[in-house]
Amino acid sequence: MTFRTPLVVATSAGVCALALGTAAPALAAPVAAQEQAMLSVFHGIPGMTVDVYANGDELLSNFKPGTVTDPQTLDAGTYSVQIFKAGQGPDGTPALEKKIEVPEGANATIAAHLSADGTPQLTAFTNDVSRVDAGKARLTVRHVAAAPAVDVRASGQPVFTGLTNPNQDTAQVDAGTVNADVVLAGSDTVAIGPADLKLKEGTSNVVYAWGSAEDKNLALKTQTFSGMESAPHAVRAGGSGAAVTSNSSDQWLAWAAAAGVITVTGVLVGRRIAGRRG
């Protein structure tokens, strides 16, 4: 499966900073921090292991589906990126080719995934790392699967309904273990799960529903950000943004440079920023 979508992202970093400001701390960040971004990447295209090149240099090899990286800081700047199926670069035809601009001050995750009709694409999501209430955790579900609209249930009760690709929904819930599943919207037909989600107090937990319904490989992947506790266990407003994931890449920074900011500049400005589905 080869696809190519050349695109030059022209949105300014200043506009992106404004759009992302809904999840930013109230106090102004130091100048040095404003010149960087916190970025991570989720690979949700089944059966497609990739190599990533930026400005002609190989930055990441054999990046596998179902992997989400830890967030890392990345200098603002512009990168010419080519993504190849593993082993086909740099002289072959890229699977995806884009020129990207890295915005300042973002905390985001970029998902490489399938659209509802099965077309590979890249979507950016802001990560809400603001504080949560005492005894609570934040739960966000992102629909990035080749599948129709779904409902997300906790212990059999709908939490999010009618969620469509490539959108997300979020809510504060009681901390603890939640038995969750994903069903076709308006039905009891289980598409994914059930699975136990351990939601610790003061964390922001992002669940990706990914894969393909037609190919029967739908799955869940969780990314957890810590450090959002309210007093008396509080950290600075906005939290640390540190993430705990089960499949991290030792070469994350390279991949973030290559893919982690493509749609932060091009998609988030036109998408709901507060974490609700569009």
Residue 253 belongs to a domain = yes
Q: pLDDT digits over 46-80, tens only?
A: 998 988 776 677 767 898 999 998 887 777 666 66
**Domain tally, the chain:** 1
215 within a domain of the structure (yes/no): yes
Tell me whether residue 118 is in a domain: yes
Q: Which residues pair with 196 in a beta bridge?
A: 179
Distance of CA 137 to the CA centre of its chain: 18
Q: What is the per-residue pLDDT for 76?
A: 64
Q: Does residue 168 lie within any of the structural domains?
A: yes
Q: For the chain, what percent of residues have pLDDT higher than 90?
A: 41
Q: Is 60 contained in some domain? A: yes
Tell me if 275 is assigned to some domain: no
C-alpha distances (whole Å) from 198 to each of 24, 139, 151, 277 are 26, 11, 20, 23
Provide the pLDDT confidence category of residue 266 given band limits of 50, 70 and 90: very low
pTM score over 0.75? no
Does residue 248 register a pLDDT over 50?
no
Q: Which domain holds residue 170?
A: 13-270
Per-residue pLDDT at 84: 85
210 part of a folded domain: yes
